[in-house]
Amino acid sequence: MGFADQRFNVNLSILFTELPLLERPAAAAAAGFTAVELWWPWVDSPTPEQSELDALKKAIEDAGVQLTGLNFYAGQLPGPDRGALSIPGEESERFRANIDVAIAFAQSLGCTTFNALYGNRVDGVDPAEQDALALENLVLAARAVGQVGGTVLIEALNQPESPKCPIVSAPKAIEIVDKVNAATGLGNAKFLMDLYHLSMNGEDLPSVIEQYAAKTGHVQIADNPGRGAPGTGSLPLEELLDQLKKAGYDGWVGLEYKAGDRPSAEAFDWLPREARAAR
């Protein structure tokens, strides 16, 4: 197998960021890709003006690329406010207000996969209170997504870069996945397996794949150290993706790495152009 046997999409919130948002879908298409994913693009607004949503939809459609994944509102990304759904008060309310807006936008482009980022721990708030709020909001999201036949993803971040995030291991993310599925009975909560974050946590990646491939709804990659393109670090990403495929994972692999000091269009030399278009 190898990279050529995977289905890759480009995360337009970390790649092509040297371009305005509305120019990024066309840039991904020009680089040979046919699928993209996004963090919630409006970091200050869970409910942007319809004209902004329509403009982004048109840019994606005009580029001829498929939207395959979208984050729910999660505060400032990249930045310290990684996630909103477990933060009491305004941020949690923003997450709830975003659910239907994000689903409607994504579904209009044929996308039904949503990443719901847990929030940081908040000083002075009982962690158990945050976890109860998180489960409540994740259940709301899973039920809403379930109405369109979609999937809610639970992602583990990494302790060094997100020290206040409570979801910093594969087993912890799987625990949340199982709780959401038990509460809804829908089975549409899945694990987002980000190999970069898990490697930063020092986890045994082959073991993670062996244990959790069946509960994985999406995969993201970047090399480590550096969070750069495959080949810039020491992770055996080609082998790990082969193992995932052999374990039965046949979904998208999101390219969520940094281009470094070069234009994003030059950060794909590790992947032959003929392997960039989804098959």
Convert the pLDDT of each residue in 83-132 to its tens digit. 999 999 999 999 999 999 999 999 999 999 999 999 999 999 999 999 99
Helices marked H in 10-149 — which ranges?
24-30, 50-63, 90-107, 127-146
Kindly report, residue by residue over 216-230, the tens digit of the pLDDT.
999 999 999 999 999
- Can you tell me the distance from the alpha carbon of 138 to that of 126, in angstroms, rounded to the nearest whole number? 19
Query: Considering 37, 91, 155, 203, which one is annotated as catalytic?
Result: 155
Contact call for residues 261 and 228 (beta carbons, < 8 A): no
CB-facing half-sphere around the CA of 15: CA atoms within 13 A: 28
- Can you tell me the distance from the alpha carbon of 129 to that of 175, in angstroms, rounded to the nearest whole number? 17
256 is catalytic: yes
The structure's pTM equals 0.97
pLDDT of res. 108? 98
pLDDT of res. 82? 74
Query: Considering 37, 91, 203, 256, which one is annotated as catalytic?
Result: 256
- Can you tell me the distance from the alpha carbon of 120 to that of 167, in angstroms, rounded to the nearest whole number? 9
- Can you tell me the distance from the alpha carbon of 39 to that of 13, in angstroms, rounded to the nearest whole number? 6
Domain boundaries, the chain: 3-267
pLDDT of res. 279? 73
Distance of CA 173 to the CA centre of its chain: 13
Main-chain dihedrals φ then ψ at residue 191, nearest 5 degrees: -85, 130
pLDDT of res. 77? 74
Domain covering 3-267 in this structure, CATH number: 3.20.20.150
Tens-of-pLDDT digits for all 279 residues of the chain? 689 899 999 999 999 999 999 999 999 999 999 999 999 999 999 999 999 999 999 999 999 999 999 999 998 876 665 799 999 999 999 999 999 999 999 999 999 999 999 999 999 999 999 999 999 999 999 999 999 999 999 999 999 999 999 999 999 999 999 999 999 999 999 999 999 999 999 999 999 999 999 999 999 999 999 999 999 999 999 999 999 999 999 999 999 999 999 999 999 999 999 999 987
- Can you tell me the distance from the alpha carbon of 29 to that of 38, in angstroms, rounded to the nearest whole number? 15
SS3 of 221, please?
Answer: strand
Beta strands 7-11 and 151-155, pairing class? unpaired
155 is catalytic: yes
